[in-house]
Amino acid sequence: MSFWSDQRVIVTGGAGFLGSFVVDGLKARGCSHIVIPRSRECDLRDRDAIRKLFRETKPTLVLHLAAVVGGIGANQKHPGQFFYDNAIMGIELIEQARQFQLPKLVVVGTICAYPKFTPVPFKEDELWNGYPEETNAPYGIAKKALLVQCQAYRQEYGLNAVFLLPVNLYGPRDNFDPASSHVIPALIKKCVDAHNRGDKFIECWGTGSATREFIYVADAAEGILAAAERYNKPAPVNIGSGMEISIRDLTTLIAKLTGFTGEIRWDKSKPDGQPRRCLDTTRAASEFNFRAQTPFEEGLRATIKWYEENLAARDLQAGRRQA
């Protein structure tokens, strides 16, 4: 708690999904000086806007969570935007942190930075042993470039910049827009909406054979804050839960938890994405004593409950109007 009492913290992306939980964690730790720049007021692609933000707020710590993200479909539709926006935001922020002589910077990367065929579980030392999965490579490479910048700036300028690699997130407040959502919110929406409409089947992308690891968003936020408190080294660190589940089994589980009893159809013309994802989380445990705490089914139930209480009725009504 004493670490946070005098910190002046900028949380880029602090109004977003992960960022809102990080801000909750900061407040719970007694941090009273929190700045959340909004894109309409501070375009993080603009160096002058970042310079003005630093000059006016005088941060002692920056947590860089802001990103342009989406599922496989969104990555395929906007590879140029995903590359440019994510790269330039990070590059300009890290450069201004150096010029400002910021005491500490935490940059949040992505699991998509890993090579397509990384041995499971993914160890941080495998990051450079191949090209990322093609459907999200522009996003993954843009984020991985920021790791290089963090390490280079530490070596040449002494900037205390650390780099974290969170696995796929899920939880309340997630993005449930089918045009840009990730797999868990997309499946929850499909199953809840289909159950409410009385549909006899849902359709899912791919074969269902790909595997993924997921971490509950509140756990990921705790990992980021633990690294901010206690980690000061150049090596990247995985933030994950250490579990692995196939998309087919995940879909079956979500269908059961939402009460959907219809058929699950697989559109094999659509891509599966990376064949397997599961992280080695020993570095986070040894370096700053972080271990995810939320059981997967418990986290899914909380996420489903949030969607049902906040968005399901609205989405069902919108679907009826479109029909």
- Joined together, the tokens standing for residue 199 give 């549909």
CA–CA gap between residue 183 and residue 199 (Å, rounded): 20
Q: Please, are residues 89 and 43 in contact by the beta-carbon 8 Å criterion?
A: no
CA of 51: how far to CAs of 43, 57, 87, in Å?
Answer: 11, 10, 17
Dihedral of CA 224/228/231/236: which sign? positive
**Residues 145, 149, 152, 155: what is their CA dihedral angle, to the nearest 10 degrees?**
-140
103 half-sphere exposure, CB direction, 13 A CA radius: 12
CA–CA gap between residue 124 and residue 72 (Å, rounded): 23
**Residues 149, 154, 160, 162: what is their CA dihedral angle, to the nearest 10 degrees?**
40
- Joined together, the tokens standing for residue 11 give 């949380």
Contacts 24+ apart (CB under 8 A), 200-203: 200/262, 200/263, 201/262, 201/263, 201/264, 201/265, 202/255, 202/260, 202/262, 202/263, 202/264, 202/265, 203/265, 203/266, 203/267
Give the Cα-Cα-Cα angle 249, 221, 27 (nearest 5 degrees).
145
CA–CA gap between residue 71 and residue 181 (Å, rounded): 6
Catalytic residue among 114, 139, 153, 216: 139
CA–CA gap between residue 106 and residue 93 (Å, rounded): 11
Helix, coil or strand: residue 187: helix
| 56 Cβ neighbours under 8 A, 6+ residues apart | none
Is 114 catalytic? The answer is: no
Active site (catalytic) residues? 139
